[in-house]
Chains A and B, each alone.
Chain A
Amino acid sequence: MNCKPVAIGVEELADLAVGAAVLGTGGGGDPHIGAMMAAEAVRRHGPVQLLPLEALDPDDLLICSSGMGAPTVIIEKVPGGQEMVTAFRALQRRLGRQARAVMSVEAGGLNSTLPFVTAAELGLPVVDADGMGRAFPELQMMTLTIFGLPACPAALADERGNVVLYDALDNRWLERLARVHCVEFGSAAYVASYPLTAAQARQAAIPGTISLCLRIGRAIREARAAHRDPVAAVLAETGGFPLFRGKLVDVARRTTAGFARGEAWFDGTDHDEGRRFVVRFQNEHLTASEVDAGGDAGAGHPAGAGERLLCSVPDLITMLDAENGTPITTEALRYGLRVQAVAIPCDWRWRLPQGLGIAGPRAFGYDYDYVPVEQLAGAQAS
């Protein structure tokens, strides 16, 4: 593996934001806002170095920097930029130690680029890894949790200057306490969490996520420029599967307990003409199913009466604009959108029993076991 740092400037950030929105599975925040903020920080402070995990000493300290809240709120209440730095510094002070690099908690429109704001402001590099390899709605849903790494001490800050430090019993308790504060702040807050060493990150984090985002973003951009199919380019970079092609005919969403929850219904188009699909989300897409018109659940997975499961968490479900391949976040879903839904197999760590306990279908309240999307896709094809 290449151990040389890569400089991330304004152009790279644009690719990164688009690629991260693909892995963000509809959530992780609006890529445009994150990219703008990071670009502004990079213009002011210069490019940020992206370091592979291998380039770090085993006991180097990493701290994750992220935004938290409902994406529906964050697109209207844009962070000022200092919130992340405030939280990061509060955690460094609590630890009595400076971080060697900033890490991203998740690949998502906002949370893949916000660490670059923190890094640019503090003059630190960003490490080429993250804690999900995708986006998830809750703080404890990290591969770091699977490996027993505590999210605490963690710090939360808002745009007013309020700071909260947590030493929670476990990562789930951090999520509960930070979530109520996030709601109290106005459903947007900025977090520094999961202080860990590079050695721990090598075991528990997902390596190469940032460069994968960069590659996906670049593939979409180049495919568009060359008038090639951007969807095919995404599938080639990610090893993903096409799920369905359709037109959005109904979307219901509600912002509850700090989350954007809801479901979107699609009428199949092109080779999926005559079929009907539903995608459910909580910030991120959780499940994609085909709905049988006749109410027959068929031989597929018991997703619900008259439904056949196509893909579920922790595998990735991403909506791409059918024409130009632009990833579509859940808050941008609206009537008439023509989409190509794609599924991307999740990182192997999520398929461990502990991983499925944290982020499998049952962790989101669905009463069925996880089946890898490769098998579901195979069942569909047969």
Chain B
Amino acid sequence: MPRKIGTIEIEDIALGAAVLGTGGGGDPYIGKLMAAEAIDRFGPVDLIDLDDLADDDLVICSAMMGAPTVMVEKIPAGEEFVRAFEAIEARLGRKARAVMSAEAGGLNSTTPFITAAAMRRPLVDADGMGRAFPELQMVTLTLYGLSATPMSMADEKGNVVVLDCVDNLWTERLARTATVEMGCTAMIALYAATGAQLREAACRNTISLAQRVGAAIRTARAQQRDAVTAVLDVTGGFRLFKGKIVDVGRRTERGFARGHARLEGLGEHAGRTLEIEFQNEHLVARTDDRVLCSVPDLICLVDAESGEPITTEAMRYGFRVEVLGIPCDPRWRTAAGLELVGPGYFGYDFEYVPVEERVQG
């Protein structure tokens, strides 16, 4: 049964998605404003389950690509999402039954609502990551052999590019260079797939999960309970570290926001130091002697008082934060999943160990 998503639900989804965004996925605030504006204008969006789709129903993912550091300053005009989406429909000669989110984390949890509202299509309660990742081939759909292409890109100037690539890594390479040339942001439509394919390959109910996480934080705050505990209850996550940000280094290179943050421990972690490295999203959190959590598990920074998630571009000196580790979708823990998004892909030479084992060890 479809569920209506209006501006109030969008608030919770954006808040929860910022947790699942693991520091990246773009500023959810901007996505929320744009989605709320689109819903005000076109009406609420139907959120449908993957099981509501017929086997051969066509679904296309809608997203924004680029460096979050640029996205917060260069806000899309709005029509780009629809222009990109329609370019894929024209290329395929077929209308999509529904819109899907490529990533449940950050900005891209809410941007598909802009497309869905403007095109009056339902949004599927699923995504391709169960979190946010920096590159477009990093979706569970890739593990099932689904092609990102035909993929389209539209910018605010009016350029439209349609890619047909030999594999999803080539799609990432060509889309990334075009994004940089377009000014480090582009609206994209990709991963056209059928209902049957997505029931197998997509991460289910992740939009609802984002909404539940957001609602949990909101409710906890209203009831003056601990918001961090509420997040952990919904996500099955762990407290990794509590500390104060004492150093942040970031650089925007090749279309990514890369960098690191150093935290000095507070409370039970006093006297210890935590180092976090990120490429749009947090990749690894480690103390002097050991790794506490790494991709593909989720590393989330939240304000120690309010539970408000903190994106990599918002991190700054003096913030008191809790660092949380949340287990990823089990498909990311397969050999193929780890090859695509494990520590090795991002240049680390340690083996992936699930966060729940690291916490016990």
Interface residues of A (CB under 8 A from B): 90, 94, 160-169, 173, 176-177, 180-181, 183-184
Contacts and interface: CB of A to CB of B under 8 A. Distances in A.
Given A161-B166, A162-B166, A162-B170, A183 B177 contact: yes
Nearest to B176: A184
A167 B86 CA distance: 13
Contact of A181 (B162, B166, B178): B178
Given A168-B159, A184-B173, 16 more contacts: A162-B163, A165-B91, A165-B162, A165-B164, A166-B161, A166-B162, A167-B159, A167-B161, A167-B162, A169-B158, A169-B159, A173-B159, A177-B181, A180-B177, A181-B174, A184-B174
Contacts of B180: 180
Nearest to A182: B177
B159 A162 contact: no
22 contacts: A161-B166, A162-B163, A163-B163, A163-B164, A164-B161, A164-B163, A165-B91, A165-B163, A166-B160, A167-B87, A167-B160, A167-B161, A167-B162, A168-B160, A173-B159, A176-B181, A177-B161, A177-B181, A180-B178, A180-B180, A180-B181, A181-B178
B157 interface: yes
Interface in B3-59: none
Contacts of A162: 163-166, 170, 174
Of the listed residues B91, B158, B166, B178, the one surrounded by the most CB atoms of chain A closer than 10 A to its CB is B178
B350 to A, nearest CB: 30
A181 B165 CA distance: 12
B192 to A, nearest CB: 15
A160 B170 contact: yes
Contacts, number: 58
A184 B165 CA distance: 13
Nearest to B155: A169
Closest 10 CB pairs of A and B: A165-B162, A167-B160, A180-B177, A163-B164, A169-B158, A161-B166, A162-B165, A180-B181, A168-B159, A184-B177
By secondary structure, the B interface counts as mixed
Nearest to B87: A167
Interface in B163-192: 163-166, 170, 173-174, 177-178, 180-182
Contacts of A160: 166, 170
Interface in B318-338: none
Contacts of A173: 157, 159
Contacts of A184: 173-174, 177
Contacts of A166: 159-162
Given A177-B178, A177-B181, A164 B162 contact: yes
Contacts of A90: 164
A163 B149 CA distance: 10
Contact of B164 (A164, A169, A180, A181): A164
Nearest to B152: A165
Contacts of B162: 164-167
Contacts of B166: 160-162
Nearest to A164: B163
B159 to A, nearest CB: 5
Nearest to A163: B164
Nearest to B160: A167
Interface string B77-115: 000000000010001000000000000000000000000
Nearest to A176: B181
A231 B87 CA distance: 52
B177 A181 contact: yes
Contacts of A168: 159-161
A138 to B, nearest CB: 14
Interface in B119-166: 157-166
A96 B225 CA distance: 62
A369 B98 CA distance: 56
Given A169-B157, A173-B159, A164 B181 contact: no
A315 to B, nearest CB: 31
B159 A164 contact: no
A327 B252 CA distance: 45
Nearest to B178: A177
A154 to B, nearest CB: 10
Contacts of B182: 177
A176 B178 CA distance: 9
Nearest to A185: B174
A161 B170 CA distance: 10
